Structure 1
Amino acid sequence: MSVRLKLLAAGRSSALLGTRFGDDRPLDAAGWHKAERAAPVLCRLAAAELRYCSPSARCRDTGEALGLRPLPQPALRDCDMGRWHGRTLGEVAADEPHAVETWLADPRSAPHGGESLLAFITRIGRWLDTRPVEDADGLLAVAEPGVVRAALIYALQAPPHSYWRIDVQPLSVTTLTGRSGRKWDLQLEA
């Protein structure tokens, strides 16, 4: 038996304010527009019997814009960035350059007081491994790009530092297929 999980990256929130740690802004007008324009192509995702989402506003908004009605899953929340929450990487690097260096170099470190990269990947992996084994009609998760990256690292058993080398675009779909024994395969669609 295998399970097929489609991971849909959330639409973009306002780019004018820059990417921030723990960004929980809703989709802006442009994000809604892009999601609605993508709906004819992505509507096939509504066939998934079980539909989940990260609890962030933009993941819930993306699901709503596409008519998916996903169930928020606390385990699918983005990485806990502690005291860096709400700040940009540039802001943090200007104030704490050594802490940023440590965080980027060591996946076990959490100089921000939140969750380490390794703990984040492990949490997402635990969620993956608890999905139902028998899945005739598919699973879907609308998730933050960081969650999709963590799922890929876990599924492919890649080194944690590979996380920084994966670029997940808004509204992109990634498919993971789990097999008996909880091995995961990446399936790319044309």
Structure 2
Amino acid sequence: MALRVTFVAAAGSSSVLAERFEDDRPLDRAGWSEVQRVAHALLPLAAADLRYCSPAPRSRATGAGLGYAPLVQLALRDCDMGRWRGLTLREAMAREPEAVDAWLADPRSTPYGGEPLPAFIGRVGGWLDTRPVEDGCRVVAVAEPSVIRAALVYVLRAPPATYWNIDVRSLSAIGVAGRAGRWSLRLEGASAQAARA
């Protein structure tokens, strides 16, 4: 029995310069325009058997804007970044360069006082492993790029440092298939996803 989960990255928020840690800003006009531009390609995913989103405002708005009517999942929240919440990596580096260097060198470290990266990856992976499994069941989950990176590290059973080597773009979609403890990455074009949704 295999479950198919498609992750959709939330639309961007006002700053296009850099992703913010635990970004809780609402979707702005540029974000809404972005959703409208790609809705035709992502709308077929609304036919998924189960539709979820992270609790972040821009994930909820993206899911609603795409017609998914998603159910909020707390396990899909962003990593708890402690005192770096709301900062970009560049801003954190300007304030605490040695702490950022330590964190990038050792994903288990938490110089910001929050959740360790391996725990974040495990939390997101635990959510994935506990989805109801019915053969051919289709799930769509709208989440922040950081959450999708964590899910991919988990699915690939990659070392936590791999998290930094995955670039998830706004409104991109990526699929995984399998069941608890046995996942594989699915790469498809937008037309193939639309046809199978």
> For 1:126 and 1:137, how far apart are their aligned partners in 2?
18
Tell me the SS of whatever aligns to 1:138. strand
* AA at the equivalent of 2:185: L
Name 2:134's counterpart in structure 1: 134
Name 2:166's counterpart in structure 1: 166
Point out where structure 2 has 5 or more consecutive residues left out of the alignment.
Answer: 190-197
1:20-99 matched pairs, under 5 angstroms: 20-99=20-99
> For 2:165 and 2:17, how far apart are their aligned partners in 1?
23
**Deviation at 1:17?**
7.1
Per-residue CA shift, 1:23-47, capped at 9, x if unaligned?
1111111110110121111111001
* AA at the equivalent of 1:182: G
Name 1:19's counterpart in structure 2: 19
Structure 1 stretches of 4+ moved >6 Å: none
**Deviation at 1:135?**
4.7
Count of residue pairs brought into register by the alignment: 189
Question: Given the superposition, is the C-alpha separation of residues 162 and 18 from structure 1 closer, same or farther in structure 2, using an over 3 Å criterion?
Answer: closer
> For 1:173 and 1:167, how far apart are their aligned partners in 2?
12
> For 2:143 and 2:59, how far apart are their aligned partners in 1?
6
Tell me the SS of whatever aligns to 1:110. coil
Per-residue CA shift, 1:6-33, capped at 9, x if unaligned?
0000000012674321111111111101
Name 2:185's counterpart in structure 1: 186
**Deviation at 1:66?**
0.7
> For 2:91 and 2:62, how far apart are their aligned partners in 1?
28
Question: Given the superposition, is the C-alpha separation of residues 135 and 62 from structure 1 closer, same or farther in structure 2, using an over 3 Å criterion?
Answer: farther
Is 1:125–1:155's contact at 8 Å kept on the other side of the alignment? Answer: yes
Is 2:55–2:76's contact at 8 Å kept on the other side of the alignment? Answer: yes
Tell me the SS of whatever aligns to 1:102. helix
> For 1:162 and 1:16, how far apart are their aligned partners in 2?
23
Report the TM-score when normalising by structure 2. 0.92
